[in-house]
Amino acid sequence: MTEHAWTNVDEYLNERLVENDPALQAALADSAAAGMPAIAVAPNQGKLLNLLARLSDARRILEVGTLGGYSAIWLARALPTGGRLITLELNPLHAQVAEKNLARAGVRDKVEIRVGPALETLARLASEKQAPFDLSFIDADKQNNAAYFDRALAMSRRGSLIIVDNVVRQGGVTDGRTADPAIVGTRKLFDRLSQEPRVDATAIQTVGVKGWDGLAIALVIGDA
Ligand code: SAH
Ligand code: DHB
Ligand code: MG
């Protein structure tokens, strides 16, 4: 199996099942034009996030890692009237592009973009004592994955979902001797997931336009 075949299959699936309206297309085009890396979730992955958010009746969603707002559009579109997505981004340029992309997609009023290092923003969010998040999507700098998980968990309730992107990294996750901070951080996340009694989790490998990777999904089963 080659990456080329995976891409063909993704195209086949996306053509049949996944919306690709002008706002989503423009979000990717404008992100590329702004010089951002092409690392947004794939269309069928964005749709998966959207379906999971709807399945869990999410009214409050947390995203760590906005980039150009592509995954944020998918998540925000799952929200009911009055629902809210808070998305955290380090790079103010990314946040600016995301803001325009979210506006064009018609969801700007549902989304709050907070600019700064996510660890700091998460600490501030926790101190605000808002209602818990129904779903969290962690997709920023991978070396902080375990810390992001802990902070998302602290702001979750029983029944919340926590989803983490890019947990396989072309199989790199099994390399216990690597110095790659992204892999080290992801392995720390799996240690946390396996030891945390408040969650029940799985992870699946994925192939497609983004190569060989995977995502972890944790269901919060205990109260804080
Ligand atoms: N979720 C997006 C992709 C996010 S890419 C999508 O699928 O469409 C990862 C993003 O995390 C980048 O925009 C990067 O600038 C941001 N990031 C990296 N380190 C960060 C940090 N410490 N705090 C917040 N955001 C960070
Ligand atoms: C990278 C980050 C992502 O969020 C992703 O989905 C793919 C790749 C990266 O930093 O290489
Ligand atoms: Mg990602």
The string of pLDDT tens digits covering residues 155-184 is: 999 999 999 999 999 999 999 999 999 999
Site to substitute for ligand 2 among 28, 36, 39, most atoms within 8 A of C-beta: 39
Whether 166 lines ligand 2, by a CB cut-off of 6 Å, is: yes
CA of 132 to the centre of ligand 3 (A): 23
Residue minimizing CA distance to atom 22 of ligand 1:
117
pTM above 0.95, yes or no: yes
Q: Where are the domains of the chain?
A: 3-220
Where the chain has pLDDT below 50, the residues are none
Ligand nearest to the CA of 69: 1
Say if residue 152 is exposed, middle or buried (CB neighbours under 10 Å; 0-12, 13-18, 19+). Answer: buried
Instruction: Encode pLDDT of 72-102 as tens digits.
Output: 999 999 999 999 999 999 999 999 999 999 9
Domain 3-220 classification at class level: alpha beta
**Token pair of 110 as six digits:** 């549902």
Neighbours of 192 (CB within 10 A): 18
Phi, psi dihedral angles at 102 (to 5 degrees): -70, -40
Q: Which atom of ligand 2 is nearest to the CA of 41?
A: 6
**146 backbone φψ class: left, alpha, beta (φ>0; ψ -120 to 50):** alpha
Where do the H-state alpha helices sit in the chain?
A: 3-17, 22-33, 43-55, 70-76, 92-104, 118-127, 145-154, 181-195
Amino acid identity of 163? I
Q: What are phi and psi of 77, to 5 degrees?
A: -70, -15
pLDDT reported for residue 223: 87
DSSP helix/strand/coil, 74: helix
